[in-house]
Amino acid sequence: MVLNCIIVDDSKPCINLLSSHLIEFKAYVQLIKTYSDPLTALAEIQQNDIPDIAFIGILKGQISGIQLAKLLMNKIKYLIIIAYDLSYVLDAFDVNARGYLIKPILKQKLWETIMKIVEKEKRKLEDVRRNEYFFIKSNISEVTKIYVNDIIAVQGASNYVQIHTLDQKNYITYAKMLDYEHKLSSLGDFIRVNKSFIISTSAIKQIQKRKILLNNGLQIPIGNTYKNRIKELLNIIKL
């Protein structure tokens, strides 16, 4: 899960520091643009895709950061106010800000703020996934209902896939791995770890240097092509 974010602040050093911190958290947030002018930010947000998170400073332009936040509070899910002191805490509360960071922004405080948002998004996704399902044709005369939350792994072979589930059952159906990669990536924390396997991160029991052990006992080798992607998504320092 990667959330898009923007920064709106009239302090270039603040933008640079915050940007450098966010790069280190790229497994969870992606900085798509920075603005020093709030009116430009407002115009572009209204015309383009709306980011998930906006870091907004206390601005001194035609409109203040709090005024900008009021205009965006019903458009952007998570507003985070950044200021030099606590003078604007009540204003931040009024715009339903999900965070308040003091300049210069400490990496640890930023991390804690981002992770609260990520956990909230994960809980929302889990609520959706709990009821998500699809049907597969597992043999000539049988159609099976599979709940996304029950899937541990999907294993591909030629034009077939084998779906491994929590109840230790395996379902084989005619399909391509790419189809399942697209289907599952939009529904939760599924990652492809080699050419033949897509796994649920919630089913991971242990990660070793060259393989991943799942809760059902499956030991899956990590493909070299996918190693960096796995490291980013799971926030692993060395793999």
Which of 70, 97, 127 represents a domain boundary (last residue)? 127
66 and 78 housed in the same domain: yes
**Range of the structural domain that residue 19 is part of:** 3-127
Does residue 34 fall inside a structural domain?
Answer: yes
14 and 120 housed in the same domain: yes
pTM over 0.85, yes/no: no
Does residue 159 fall inside a structural domain?
Answer: yes
> By the 8 A CB rule, do 95 and 66 touch?
yes
For 77-96, write each residue's pLDDT tens digit: 999 999 999 999 999 999 99
Domain count, the chain: 2
Taking each helix axis as running N to C, give the angle between helix 107-130 and helix 12-24, from 0 to 180 degrees, rounded to the nearest 10. 50
116 and 138 housed in the same domain: no
Does residue 239 fall inside a structural domain?
Answer: no
Q: What is the pLDDT of residue 58?
A: 94
123 and 135 housed in the same domain: no
Which of 93, 127, 161 represents a domain boundary (last residue)? 127
Q: What is the pLDDT of residue 49?
A: 81
Q: What is the pLDDT of residue 69?
A: 96
Question: CATH code at 72?
Answer: 3.40.50.2300
For residue 237, the number of C-alpha atoms closer than 13 Å in the C-beta half-sphere is 0
142 and 194 housed in the same domain: yes
135 and 116 housed in the same domain: no
For 102-114, write each residue's pLDDT tens digit: 999 999 999 999 9
115 and 151 housed in the same domain: no
Q: What is the pLDDT of residue 29?
A: 94
119 and 137 housed in the same domain: no
101 and 138 housed in the same domain: no
Which parts of the chain sit beneath pLDDT 50? 237
Alpha-carbon span 149 to 120, nearest angstrom: 18
230, two tokens: 């796995």
138 and 223 housed in the same domain: yes
95 and 153 housed in the same domain: no
